[in-house]
Amino acid sequence: MTDTKLKIFSGSSNRALAEEICKSIGVPLGDATVTCFPDGESFVKINENIRGADTYFIQSTCPPTNHHLMELLIMIDAAKRASTSRITAVIPFYGYARQDRKDQPRVPITAKLVADLLTAAGANRVLAMDLHSQQIQGFFNIPVDHLFASPVFFQYLATKKFNKLVVFSPDVGGMKMAAAYADILGASLGLVAKKRVNANTVEAINVVGEVEGCDVLLVDDITETAGTLTAAAKILKDHGARSIRAAVSHCVLNEIAYERLKGGLIDELITTNSVPIDTRGLPITVLSIAPLLGEAILRINTNESVTSLFKIKGF
């Protein structure tokens, strides 16, 4: 496979990221028509020969989620029927990941359903970043390379000066990730206990760890309404936090989130370009994951180790 030609294509969800990935590794972005019929059905045509190629499709399943997911499935099907050698779905943000178990009666496990759809469409491999939970890798019957955005965050945070840094997880589920961040940053560790009132509202009820006079870094994998982050930030401010930053891998922000961020509880929201994001003049810092994804694509193409990209092998 080491001499197999590398072809990279982009869906419509995050073309800017795909272009940046290709620029970082010196590979041209493939020519494909990705559009819609008048009735909204997706149409894909690959405009170059990919017979026998090692083909990568870059597509985040961010809103409109269903449209972008269907587009990715159609691109994979088109490549399979064009006799490409191997198809890798590069999914910087894996949608439907939060429904990864049956936590109440008669609900689906959509993370598994999406995995089945990708496999059925013809994907031979998946390259994803910061999945909502590690076990999603086991939902696939094909290889999954799981990347972490943490090296990009560490590089940025190394340029900042902190007064007694404490890394906090805004919920119990993120403690492993927070512990990894605290370890590599040489910081203390804390937890904000929360209670979810409804899908859009979260109430922070307790703080475990030192806060008074400290710089706080909240770490999470995804935020949509910023409810968990702002609720945690408020209780931490009330306990005397000097400053509050948040490092979140995927910011799929809606109008509720922007309104909450305008409140000023979070001094800086640090995120990646795994999904397109409009900062709207708010203190949002967007870091690029393009070099990381580009290096991973090159390593997969040449059958090298992807795991060796990381000091921390998992959360």
Query: Which residues are the active-site residues?
Result: 194
Taking the C-alpha atoms of residue 144 and residue 74, their distance in angstroms, rounded to an integer, is: 20
Give 142-178 as a DSSP string.
Answer: S-EEEE-SHHHHHHHHTTS--SSEEEEESSGGGHHHH
Reduce the DSSP state of residue 74 to 3 states and report it. helix
Amino acid of residue 232 = A
Alpha-carbon radius of gyration of the chain: 20
Beta partners for residue 58, in sequence order:
10, 90
Taking the C-alpha atoms of residue 193 and residue 157, their distance in angstroms, rounded to an integer, is: 25
Residue 6: CB atoms within 10 Å: 17
Residue 259 has phi, psi (to 5 degrees) of -65, -40
Reduce the DSSP state of residue 93 to 3 states and report it. coil
Of 215, 282, 221, 275, the residue nearest 248 (C-alpha): 221
- 136: its two tokens: 């999603």
Q: Where do we find the tokens 């209670």?
A: 195
Taking the C-alpha atoms of residue 58 and residue 60, their distance in angstroms, rounded to an integer, is: 7
Q: Where do we find the tokens 């020969």?
A: 49
- Strand 86-91 with 54-58, pairing: parallel
